[in-house]
Amino acid sequence: MTGSPAVTLYPLGGLGEIGLNCMALVSGDSMIVVDCGLMFPDDSLFGIDVVIPRFDFILQNRDKLKGIVLTHGHEDHIGALPWLMRSCDAPLYASSFTLALAGKKLEEHGLKEFTTCLPVSAGDTVTLGDFKVTFFPVCHSIVHGFALGIETPAGRIVHTGDFKIDRNPLDGHATDLDAIKRFAGDGAMLLLSDSTNAEREGFALTEREIKAALGDIFATCSGRIVVTLFSSHIQRMQEIYDLAHATGRKVAVSGKSLFTNIEIARELKHLRVPPGTEASLEELASLPDEQVVLLVTGSQGEPLSALSRLAYGEHRQVKIQKGDTVILSSRFIPGNIRAITRLINRLYKLGAEVLYERVQAIHASGHAHADELRLMLKTVSPKFFIPIHGEYRHLVKHARIAVSCGVAPERALVIEDGQPVTFAEGLIRLEDAIPVEHIYVDGKGVGDVGVTVLKERQLLAGEGLVIVVLVVDEKSGELTFGPNILSKGFVFEQHYSHVLEDAKCIVLDIYENVPPGQSDLLKERIRSALRRFFRKILERDPVVVPLVITL
Amino acid sequence: MTGSPAVTLYPLGGLGEIGLNCMALVSGDSMIVVDCGLMFPDDSLFGIDVVIPRFDFILQNRDKLKGIVLTHGHEDHIGALPWLMRSCDAPLYASSFTLALAGKKLEEHGLKEFTTCLPVSAGDTVTLGDFKVTFFPVCHSIVHGFALGIETPAGRIVHTGDFKIDRNPLDGHATDLDAIKRFAGDGAMLLLSDSTNAEREGFALTEREIKAALGDIFATCSGRIVVTLFSSHIQRMQEIYDLAHATGRKVAVSGKSLFTNIEIARELKHLRVPPGTEASLEELASLPDEQVVLLVTGSQGEPLSALSRLAYGEHRQVKIQKGDTVILSSRFIPGNIRAITRLINRLYKLGAEVLYERVQAIHASGHAHADELRLMLKTVSPKFFIPIHGEYRHLVKHARIAVSCGVAPERALVIEDGQPVTFAEGLIRLEDAIPVEHIYVDGKGVGDVGVTVLKERQLLAGEGLVIVVLVVDEKSGELTFGPNILSKGFVFEQHYSHVLEDAKCIVLDIYENVPPGQSDLLKERIRSALRRFFRKILERDPVVVPLVITL
């Protein structure tokens, strides 16, 4: 295939996990990057703030980089930008709303002034070296997201971004299948499509249905209404404002990320607050209950969020009372379920009624279900198909859907991060793997907290730590200080002073039986004897740190 | 109400959480305890093995204790027994199967020989002081569970245990509503009923439906079948054995807890293995794929379980291959979702097909849904109602269901652990609260790991630990050793030697500016300066332990 027009796709994240979405496309001397997302760490990643992709491939080819295209403004698509843009100065192409969110992020890292942000609108086409990228509006749980039509020397590629197909959309909330169909013509060369909900049959609920369900609640509630939702879900906020307006209520907002996003969305005219629908937190107190809506952060049970402060009675301006209705118009992300249900229980104890997805249809996923994926496949009618944005199981199932829609089985490719694929003259070739990785960010450290440090944190978390200090006189070999024992996260010392006393005796005993000068042997003996002792006496296995100082 | 026949109910666990089920009933000089369950810790309880109720109330009244009644053999109903039976010698009443599981547990703690276990059968009535307890079979996700009919001087109480109502039960798997109705007569004084699924409408799926779904899979699979399930779900195992028999397959078992429970169930004739359906793991290799069923532990993604070993290619006798079908016939417990989905992804990569509740109806909850709760309420027609076994939100919703079924609102009581209620002459009285608590068990320590130690573990887990050692000469005030710095779980030291060197300089500087002899001040200054320094340089906040030794 050498010499003929070719394009190679380099998946750097998002093919094999939910989040971390990032992909490079290379043709000749041109490279573009689509999305630059992060992933939030699971509980086993102690102390890690966020996970980002390994950018080596992009950086090694940075001279070819013509631009970074962002499909939409969610963290799993823009969140890793600050770590890429430190070492890279390509322009960003995205909707003005996505760029506003990305800009906030770059600003926090002091990178904004060095970044060129080029807003694009629906239908725009930009030329980036060998690539021509057209932006198609898609419906998703954030406004102003795009699917991409990418013309390459080897054929046309459709990249869906994250999408659903709202069959009966509220204003400005549709996926432009017609435009995508026009771009694909009699069939695109390749479709890259969102697999998040490939396991869910049928169609996702639509925002119109959600608005109707919320409308029923607004219509029947006589008390105050508190709503929490994802802070980037501008469309849902619009529904809340509209319903408040229709039922004679005013909306107050509590929580920083909501304030920020509402401000951006209003500025860009994605959110229209009906006149007379706004109130400050202070004004709420003077309004009758039936005129109050409070929009708050904290849908995932975050400890310091407004909802959490309400549930624990720690909100400065508002106290939850009998008659209040709290609506969680959001998904329970699995790792957060206990935190969220804890809040729900607290709110019930305070006398509130609490409504959530489990008991009422008040949230809709932003990702296409299987029937919507089929529609996209029929629309694009691709020769090749690669499922993206999903764990391995989602990719497998999406590939099956593609085959059921007429893609030849050998052309529905389940590949993972790091597996490049070249397309040329209607053929494909799997290239040698490139290094990809989940890079852990802890504070300012990027990638330095690896397996060793995490393992130590895990051990410390499990059973705590015991420090043993001895000072030995170098000449005489006499003990001049200690053994002293102190612990952190091990036992409540007052309860277990006898155990710690016994531990000292064990250390003394070892000290007397190790020849002077062999402090490594002494440390090793202390460590293993104490671990044995604690396991036997307490069935616990703390990290034991012996400090032997020879003076 | 003094002097008149009365009974007081003391909830010690399970009213306000899922798990930890334990309740005492007292009438005059008689006390009985119903269930003695544990709760598994969530991820925030670092290093905690299990959570148990506080037993002070029972122990303070142990002279009144006539017996401990166990409704069924799940951990959340029997798992805390070893910690109660250490200090208590009342007989245990339960089905032979429940007692066999409880006995295993007591044996592990060396308590079995001191415990009197009195097996009861469906329909039996035992007299325990002022109480007469009758045992009614109920359908649940474990065999041989009971609801209780408790005759007290103040009236009849029905305690459902955990139950569902299987309208179309497989053999021996029905809830005996007729017997409960006969016991309740024209209406019991009080119903205590399982609230776990109070938020779910309709009826739970039945085992007949699950068996049919599994049957479809068995009928169409031509490869090997691997099934994982809860190890105590004997009924489900029976279905697997029967389906294997019907489709010409043999069943091999891998995983200790399955072996143990199968052995007990077979001995007690709760599990009947059809002749010729058994195979050892070794024999599997010589069977054609279409004749193989492998029953394995690990439905929650437990790291060392058989399923986990299969998924990671570490199972000694069996390797997963293309064509295998793995069935997770079990619920995904929220805290375990990531571990389970990780296994599913691994299994797909090995070429297996994987089926689970999300994509196929192959698991049924063992707890009554709302319509079944209504049936129970209609059957018992109680004067008073107290929802049990649930978080606060479940209790609230179950109470509403009771009211919708005709219980007077003021007689549907949502109470929590520690709130005793007295029933006498058709009236109720809320007594003063008794102390209840979630007691944390870590190894052999019971209750010693409290908030302080957990907080330390949390801090250590988050950012690790830095130890600073100095030895100071008492007379001269000179530094004779150090400052030395070592860390655990903080940074990869090789990467950050310059940071640790700078930290040493900071410590030296502080040492020089603190007057000799003030070692507490010195420590405090070191701690706060290093925390400030690490926050600034690395945005991390490790636990800093300064050790200043004066010699």
Contact criterion met (CB below 8 Å) for A387 and A395: yes
pLDDT tens, position by position, B291-321: 999 999 999 999 999 999 999 999 999 999 9
Q: Averaged over B269-292, what is the pLDDT? A: 94
In 10 A of CB A338, how many CB atoms? 15
Closest by alpha carbon to B328, among B291, B360, B351, B281? B360
Chain B residues close to A454, C-beta within 8 Å: 489
What distance lies between CA B278 and its chain's CA centroid?
A: 31
Pick the CATH number of B207-354 from 3.30.70.20, 3.10.290.10, 3.40.190.10, 3.40.50.10710: 3.40.50.10710
Q: Tell me whether residues A490 and B453 touch, CB distance under 8 A.
A: yes
B463 in reach of chain A (CB within 8 A):
yes
Q: Lowest mean pLDDT: which of A203-212, A242-251, A418-427, A451-460? A: A451-460
H or E element, residue B485: strand B479-488
Annotated binding site of A: 47, 49, 72, 74, 76-77, 140, 162, 231-233, 363-367, 389, 442
Q: Find the CB nearest A393 among B348, B489, B491.
A: B348
Both tokens of B446, joined, read 């019971």
Closest by alpha carbon to B229, among B198, B251, B199? B251
Chain B residues close to A337, C-beta within 8 Å: 334-335
Res A25 pLDDT > 50: yes
Count of A-B CB contacts under 8 Å:
186
Both tokens of A15, joined, read 């093919």
Chain A residues close to B488, C-beta within 8 Å: 456, 460, 465, 543, 545
Q: Lowest mean pLDDT: which of A298-312, B39-53, B115-129? A: B39-53
Q: Averaged over B59-82, what is the pLDDT? A: 97
Burial environment of residue B24 by CB neighbours within 10 A (0 to 12, 13 to 18, 19 or more): buried
Instruction: Select the residue from B488, B527, B547 to test the A interface by mutation, using most A Cβ atoms within 10 A.
Output: B488
Q: How far is the C-alpha of A164 from the C-alpha of A167, rounded, in Å?
A: 9
A391 in reach of chain B (CB within 8 A):
yes
Percent of chain A whose predicted confidence (pLDDT) is above 70? 99
Res B485 pLDDT > 70: yes
Write the CATH number of the domain with boundaries A6-202+365-442: 3.60.15.10
Q: Tell me whether residues B47 and A458 touch, CB distance under 8 A.
A: no
Give the DSSP letter of residue A62: G
Chain A residues close to B369, C-beta within 8 Å: none
Predicted local confidence at residue B3, as pLDDT: 61
Q: Find the CB nearest B341 among A391, A481, A490.
A: A391
Q: How far is the C-alpha of A125 from the C-alpha of A135, rounded, in Å?
A: 7
Length of chain A: 551
Q: Tell me whether residues A443 and B538 touch, CB distance under 8 A.
A: yes
The annotation status of B366 as a binding-site residue, yes or no, is yes
Coil, helix or strand at residue B52? strand
B495 in reach of chain A (CB within 8 A):
yes
Question: Which of A 400-459 lie inside 8 A of B, CB atoms?
Answer: 442-445, 448-450, 452-454, 456-459
Contact criterion met (CB below 8 Å) for A381 and A355: no
pLDDT tens, position by position, B217-243: 999 999 999 999 999 999 999 999 999
Contact criterion met (CB below 8 Å) for B466 and B493: no
Annotated binding site of A for Ca(2+): 47, 49, 442
Closest by alpha carbon to A543, among B203, B381, B465, B52? B465
Q: How does residue A60 score in pLDDT terms, banded at 50, 70 and 90?
A: very high
Q: Averaged over B11-19, what is the pLDDT? A: 97
**At the fourth CATH level, which superfamily is domain A207-356?**
Metallo-hydrolase/oxidoreductase (3.40.50.10710)
Q: How far is the C-alpha of A479 from the C-alpha of A475, rounded, in Å?
A: 11
Predicted local confidence at residue B360, as pLDDT: 82
Res B248 pLDDT > 60: yes
Q: How far is the C-alpha of A530 from the C-alpha of A468, rounded, in Å?
A: 10
Does residue A483 have a cis peptide bond before it, meaning omega lies within 30 degrees of 0?
A: yes
Distance from CA of A246 to the nearest CA of B (A): 30
Q: Tell me whether residues B491 and A448 touch, CB distance under 8 A.
A: yes
Both tokens of B317, joined, read 């006798």
Predicted local confidence at residue A476, as pLDDT: 83
| End-to-end Cα distance, chain B | 71
Predicted local confidence at residue A1, as pLDDT: 42
pLDDT tens, position by position, B417-459: 999 999 998 899 999 999 999 999 988 888 888 888 888 899 9
B471 in reach of chain A (CB within 8 A):
yes
Both tokens of A130, joined, read 């060998």
Q: Tell me whether residues B545 and A467 touch, CB distance under 8 A.
A: yes
Look at strands A6-13 and A421-424 and give their pairing.
antiparallel
pLDDT tens, position by position, B177-197: 999 999 999 999 999 999 999
Distance from CA of B480 to the nearest CA of A (A): 8
Res A482 pLDDT > 90: no
Closest by alpha carbon to B517, among B454, B468, B473? B473
Res B24 pLDDT > 50: yes
Q: Is B498 in the active site?
A: no
Q: Is the dihedral of CA A206, A212, A213, A217 positive or negative?
A: positive
Q: Tell me whether residues B391 and A549 touch, CB distance under 8 A.
A: no
Distance from CA of A151 to the nearest CA of B (A): 32
Q: How far is the C-alpha of B22 from the C-alpha of B7, rounded, in Å?
A: 17
Write the CATH number of the domain with boundaries A451-550: 3.10.20.580
Q: How far is the C-alpha of A333 from the C-alpha of B84, rounded, in Å?
A: 37
Instruction: Select the residue from A83, A325, A337, A345 to test the B interface by mutation, using most B Cβ atoms within 10 A.
Output: A345
Contact criterion met (CB below 8 Å) for A160 and A147: yes
Q: Tell me whether residues A460 and B462 touch, CB distance under 8 A.
A: no
Residue of chain A nearest B542, judged by CA positions: A47
Contact criterion met (CB below 8 Å) for A543 and A461: no
> What fold, for B464-550?
Ubiquitin-like (UB roll) (3.10.20)
Q: Find the CB nearest B464 among A391, A460, A551.
A: A460
Predicted local confidence at residue A180, as pLDDT: 97
Per-domain boundaries in chain B: 6-202+365-446, 207-354, 464-550
Res A168 pLDDT > 70: yes
Write the CATH number of the domain with boundaries B6-202+365-446: 3.60.15.10
Distance from CA of A261 to the nearest CA of B (A): 26
Closest by alpha carbon to A157, among A193, A189, A122, A194? A189
Q: Tell me whether residues B461 and A463 touch, CB distance under 8 A.
A: no
Contact criterion met (CB below 8 Å) for A168 and A91: no
Give the up-direction half-sphere exposure of residue B306: CA atoms within 13 A in the CB hemisphere. 24
Q: Name every residue whose Cβ is closer than 8 Å to that of residue B495 and which is 6 or more positions away in sequence.
A: A448
The annotation status of B140 as a binding-site residue, yes or no, is yes
Q: Tell me whether residues A461 and B539 touch, CB distance under 8 A.
A: no
Q: Averaged over B522-536, what is the pLDDT? A: 93
Q: Averaged over B59-79, what is the pLDDT? A: 97
Distance from CA of B345 to the nearest CA of A (A): 5
The annotation status of B47 as a binding-site residue, yes or no, is yes
Predicted local confidence at residue A3, as pLDDT: 61
Q: Which is the catalytic residue, given B35, B194, B242, B417?
A: B194
Chain A residues close to B545, C-beta within 8 Å: 467, 486, 488
Q: How does residue B550 score in pLDDT terms, banded at 50, 70 and 90?
A: confident
Q: Lowest mean pLDDT: which of A349-363, A374-388, B295-309? A: A349-363
Contact criterion met (CB below 8 Å) for B160 and B193: yes
Q: Averaged over A63-82, what is the pLDDT? A: 97
Q: How does residue B1 score in pLDDT terms, banded at 50, 70 and 90?
A: very low
Contact criterion met (CB below 8 Å) for A406 and A379: no
Res B113 pLDDT > 70: yes
Res B33 pLDDT > 90: yes
Q: Is B502 in the active site?
A: no
Closest by alpha carbon to B39, among B62, B57, B12? B12
Q: Is the dihedral of CA B247, B248, B254, B257 positive or negative?
A: positive
Predicted local confidence at residue B544, as pLDDT: 94
The overall average pLDDT reported for chain B is: 94
Give the DSSP letter of residue A396: H
What is the spatial order of strands in the sheet that B50-53 belongs to? Answer: B50-53, B438-442, B445-446
